[in-house]
Structure 1
């Protein structure tokens, strides 16, 4: 039986790579999709500045199968100003991918404090876009080369028989406004009408993730922590 959430969507692809941050050179994927990657899929389908996505549960529909692929990459970052000669900077690196991943995402919509529109309007818009296969940009599973496909669940989906303790998993990244620690600039909506450029830093948030019977549940208090770090106020009802 599906949990009671605002939206649900089935997501699948040929490959996925949700990179673990503790591996610096070789990319190694978490065994399941992270909450931040799931949010990215939802935002690719439907996003508005009036609300935030809160992922509640992730069902792993396929058994986890891993595959190592060796690829040619360049050792330095690309830049419009810097010339890059591929023959001089290419390196062979291995990536641990997940093969044929499939997930069922359950999420709620949290409206920003300045929004007067009913939440039902955004839920219906999202469901229509899923039914028609519309998206703002093609969703992906971790890295952009891992194209994701999506559609409404048919009601027969069941989580795989899977129990994994993944350890610390990336939950999301908080964009914290701070004039003294100005490491980057980003746009922040100060009220319901305009966005302003502010300075600050980013702070990764992690949690102890565990897949039980094929289901990854995201602690709701992590969203409260995220909003405190960013100075954002939301309302979940409405």
Structure 2
């Protein structure tokens, strides 16, 4: 089902590294073959984010062949005060098409006055046309990404008309305390299947494995104090007032 506030876009980059952050503590990093729900959500938040709502990725289409490249990296070993040596395995020459929508964050009743679907939708579309409000990263800081609007399903994927590909147990995403009101940060896992190059994400609450990580405090937001109203934000990014026809 396509929602009224659905956006569709193309994202691409030279390198990408999608992984479970919990598995990175040893220093080595190895990418999943496809982007996770959380990585797509992070790209959407780089495009436009407010705590009033939560981005929900619906599906991603893999356009280019899944290929990897390993590199020797010298990260800082903070416990030793010197550089260390690690091997990072990246995806190379990636391109994806994404369809997603947003839903109100019902765990933030303090921002109920900011729930105006049309305003947020048009701001998100404007930010997408401009390539995002903030820099886009494909999994990690060193993997620069680029986004632009597109029609989901247009063009040819190398995985069109291929048999279903089970991808095994993968990270789905992280649930933060201010998104479900539980007071906990938790990790979600699932078993995606790629069909004709498309992965359709399950909703966070439908993931078969949910593991609590740690307790987490919810940050307080007050309109016009530490967060802008969408009217003020629209005026900032467009240089114009919000058209009352959008209300």
Identify the match of residue 85 of structure 1 among 60, 81, 84: 81
1:213 is matched with which residue?
196
DSSP 3-state at the match of 2:135: coil
Is the counterpart of residue 138 in structure 1 residue 135 in structure 2? yes
Pairwise mapping of residues 26-65 of structure 1 onto structure 2 (< 5 A)? Answer: 26-65=28-67
Q: Distance in 1 between matches of 2:23 and 2:81?
A: 29
1:236 is matched with which residue?
none
2:155 is matched with which residue?
157
Shift of residue 224, structure 1, vs aligned partner: 6.1
Cα deviation, 1:144-165, whole Å, max 9, x if unaligned, reads: 0001101011563343316532
DSSP 3-state at the match of 2:126: helix
Unaligned runs of 5+ in 1: 78-83, 177-187, 191-197, 233-238
Q: Distance in 1 between matches of 2:75 and 2:116?
A: 47
Pairwise mapping of residues 72-111 of structure 1 onto structure 2 (< 5 A)? Answer: 72-76=74-78, 85-86=81-82, 90-111=83-104
Is the Cα contact below 8 Å between 2:66 and 2:91 reproduced in 1? yes
DSSP 3-state at the match of 2:75: strand
DSSP 3-state at the match of 1:39: helix
Indicate the structure whose relative CO is greater, using CA pairs within 8 Å and at least 6 residues apart. 1
Shift of residue 112, structure 1, vs aligned partner: 2.9
Shift of residue 25, structure 1, vs aligned partner: 3.9
Is the Cα contact below 8 Å between 1:57 and 1:217 reproduced in 2? yes
TM-score under structure 1 length normalisation:
0.72
Which structure's residues are more often strand, by fraction? 1
Cα deviation, 1:28-64, whole Å, max 9, x if unaligned, reads: 1000110001000000110112110011101111111
Question: How many pairs were matched up?
Answer: 198
